[in-house]
Structure 1
Amino acid sequence: MQIPRDQPAICTLIGKIYVTGGRRHNMMTDSEGRSAISEGRSAITENTVECFNPETNQWTMCAPMKEGRYWHSAVVVDGKIYVLGGQGDNDKYPWSMERYCEETNSWEAVDQMHTSLFNLNCVSLRLRKDHVCISDDDDYGCHNGWWD
């Protein structure tokens, strides 16, 4: 990857691996060349997105998300990547969901969740049509154009 990060959300689309958001820590290098997180420095919440193509063994940058987030989730539904929830700067917990179109390399805001969630997991299920199902320790819901 081009940007070292922790707590991103990762998914696959059309045989490629997408890494979304996360946090980037200020790093320092000691006298022996080892990297470590700088003490007393805050992390930067990323809105960047990187794509790994296993066929070419290369990482490329994609369009950034509209909102930086970490401890969020990413899932693919109908050939588009959805990211939702997570945590942002200043202990902000986004209620938002964004959708990425690989063909146009662009993000758009979609529905708002009824509650903010972070450190969550998503999976796309084929029920009667695609639903994005999310869960955390206490609750779950499905999205099919609105939150139930």
Structure 2
Amino acid sequence: MLMVIEDHGLVKPYVIMHAGAESSWEIFDKDFKNFRSLPTIPSSDYCFFHSDKETISVGTQLIVIGREIEGIVVFRYELENNKWFRGPLMITPRVMYGSASDGKTVFFAGGIQMDDNGNPIVVRTVEKYNADTKMWTMIYGMHKSRKFSSGCFLRGKFYVLSGRNENDKHLTCGERYDEATNSWELIPGMLKDINFITSSQAPPLIAVVDDNLYLLEISLNELRIYDINTNVWKKLGSVPVSANAVFGWGVTFKSMGDRLLVVGTSHSWSRTTVFYSCQRSPYVEEQHWEELKYWCDDTELPRFIHNCCVMFA
């Protein structure tokens, strides 16, 4: 197995993926030519290994949140130590939230929380985690309770897009949080023109590059860019993966430095997992996607990517 190439003193993106093995995450360089496996998460709880998990990077830490028999648990991987640690727990443990990181801070908004009687409730609760202090802090809650939403940082503000409410209905509104004023602004109709295939489709597939917000429109396999001034999404051509075949689940759409990254099943009859990146050009309508030749001991990744995030180190 190849090891990740280290360029000491340089900050570069690494892609961390979880593609099906019970406790295995792999970290790749940006060209997917070199990689290594992370150590096994130190949990013996079968519930954690076999249930869904949510992953995000903050600083040089990888945060993995999942469910053990006794409740929701947080694990963090520290790149400098090449080691996993348990905790610290969220103040209000929950899953299916919208999240995004900005440097060494990551925000978690909404999601599903269990009440005192063990019943799931959709919340508007928001808290942030600091990678330096390893502490959670509550911040002012959103206007709307929402689950299965997506989050991003755009032009210095934390955005939460779409999701489903307590009645399991899709929300077309978004919200943005200004940390300087500790306040939320509701954005009506932010996803009003986006098609929802099914009530159980994946959260919006979004990514930010060069202070521009992009979306992979699941139903049409199209790339779109958001005009922050007019609240409109402009079409930028097709994306070379079949996101609609699995309602957006198992597909990776991320920013990777100055490029967009998409990983999913191909449009071809073979339905293999393919990797493409795109450097946005403002001068053409149809964006050019470059295939990345994935190398991994002459084997192929599963067709379903469970978790993926990008770490800068």
Q: TM-score range by the shorter chain?
A: 0.7 to 0.9
> Per-residue displacement from partner, 1:19-61 (whole Å, max 9, x unpaired)?
1111112467xxxxxxxxx4xx3x2111011111122221110
**Identity value in percent:** 27
Distance 1:125 1:69, change over 3 A: same
- 1:8-87 equivalent positions in 2, closer than 5 A: 8-26=97-115, 38=118, 41=119, 43-87=120-164
d(CA) in 1 for partners of 2:141 and 2:195?
Answer: 21
Question: Which residue number in structure 2 is paired with residue 33 of structure 1?
Answer: none
Question: Which residue number in structure 1 is paired with residue 226 of structure 2?
Answer: 143
> Per-residue displacement from partner, 1:99-125 (whole Å, max 9, x unpaired)?
111111111012522246552221112
> Per-residue displacement from partner, 1:36-88 (whole Å, max 9, x unpaired)?
xx4xx3x2111011111122221110110110111110011111011111111
Question: Which residue number in structure 2 is paired with residue 109 of structure 1?
Answer: 186
d(CA) in 2 for partners of 1:93 and 1:50?
Answer: 23
d(CA) in 1 for partners of 2:131 and 2:123?
Answer: 23
> Per-residue displacement from partner, 1:119-142 (whole Å, max 9, x unpaired)?
22211122xxx3211225314532
d(CA) in 2 for partners of 1:96 and 1:76?
Answer: 17
d(CA) in 2 for partners of 1:70 and 1:9?
Answer: 7
- Alignment partner for residue 215 of structure 2, among 134, 140, 144? 134
RMSD (CA atoms): 2.0
Question: Which residue number in structure 1 is paired with residue 209 of structure 2?
Answer: 125
TM-score (norm 2): 0.40
Distance 1:116 1:52, change over 3 A: farther
Contact 1:95 1:116 in 2 (8 A): no
Contact 1:119 1:136 in 2 (8 A): no
Question: Which residue number in structure 1 is paired with residue 5 of structure 2?
Answer: none
Contact 2:110 2:124 in 1 (8 A): yes
**1:91 to partner: Cα distance:** 1.8
d(CA) in 2 for partners of 1:132 and 1:111?
Answer: 17
Extract structure 1 runs of 4+ deviating beyond 3 A: 115-118
d(CA) in 2 for partners of 1:21 and 1:69?
Answer: 5
d(CA) in 2 for partners of 1:24 and 1:136?
Answer: 28
Look up the SS of the partner of 2:180 in the other structure.
coil
Look up the SS of the partner of 1:90 in the other structure.
coil
d(CA) in 2 for partners of 1:110 and 1:90?
Answer: 20
TM-score (norm 1): 0.79
Distance 1:111 1:26, change over 3 A: closer
d(CA) in 2 for partners of 1:110 and 1:47?
Answer: 15
Q: How many pairs does the alignment contain?
A: 133
